[in-house]
Amino acid sequence: MNARGLSRHLLQLIVIVLLGGFAAAALVRYSPGFDSIPEDLDPSISPEVLRALHAKNAVDNPLPVFYLRYLRGTLTGGFGISATLNQPVADLLRRRAPVTARLVALGTAGGILLGALFAWMAVWTRRVFLEATAYSISGLLLAVPPAVLGLAFFFTEAPLALALALALFPRLFGTIRALLDDRAASPALLAARARGVRPMAIALRYVIAPSLRQILALVGVALVLAFGSAIPIEAICGIPGIGALALQAAIGRDMPLICALALIITFFVTLAHSAGELMA
């Protein structure tokens, strides 16, 4: 990758992050009920005064002006103050991020291991029963939403990281299976097997080593999928991570918190996709 390609990816990253933050702010700003003010609940205020207050609120808080002010504050080192929690957004993210990071890391590792195991069952063993079992379990789990898996594990007090791994594995199974299928048919591997090379050496030399770039790209994609699946799991199960914080921000229409979450989530998702493209 030359300097021009890196500059293009960097510019693409900045533009997507800025657009992602603006889109999230626009969805909240123009959602039904956003223009309501505390004075709406006061029966002593006349309709004319309420209309004037609403007009003033609309003039004082246009979306482009708010977003530019917010970006300027972000560049100076802060994400603002949460309107619902009345705390600095940076402090909220600092406390919640490790919870989500741990869940995503464990779920991604488990999902890749399960995907690799079932892909090996489908390709390497050359047994119809194991292949049918791998495809059946993958298809069944693919039909179950991650939030439902998380809720089932939550009620049974099982590790939620395992629920995330099970939600992730069928989404990686097909890619890993195709990769193993391609490597299993390579002439070099068939020749090594005919010479009696040990299976572990075959796996390391003729499968993992030639596929290292694809594996790294797959890890980037898996992190994105895991992060997206972790948000509903955290929100439904009440885990104090980024997912629950995002749900609270959406319910309270907390613009500073929503913009901060949108910028950070869009940044990491775009970064993972860009890294995957560079590795592929």
φ and ψ at residue 235, rounded to 5 degrees:
-65, -45
Report domain 3-34+78-279's class. mainly alpha
Phi-psi region of 80 (alpha: psi -120 to 50; beta: other; left: phi over 0): left
Structure tokens at 25: 């702010």
| pTM of the predicted structure, to 2 decimals | 0.75
DSSP state of 45: S
As a whole-number percent, the residues of the chain with pLDDT over 70 amount to 88
> What is the pLDDT confidence band of residue 103, given thresholds at 50, 70 and 90?
very high
pLDDT on residue 168? 92
Q: Is the Cβ–Cβ distance between 266 and 255 less than 8 Å?
A: no
pLDDT on residue 238? 82
Q: Is the Cβ–Cβ distance between 85 and 92 less than 8 Å?
A: yes
pLDDT at 92 over 80: yes
> What is the pLDDT confidence band of residue 13, given thresholds at 50, 70 and 90?
confident
Give the C-alpha distances (Å, rounded to integers) separating 99 from 11, 123, 242: 30, 36, 8
Chain-centre distance of CA 37, in angstroms? 34
Q: How much of the chain is in helix, strand and coil states, percent to nearest 5?
A: 80, 0, 20
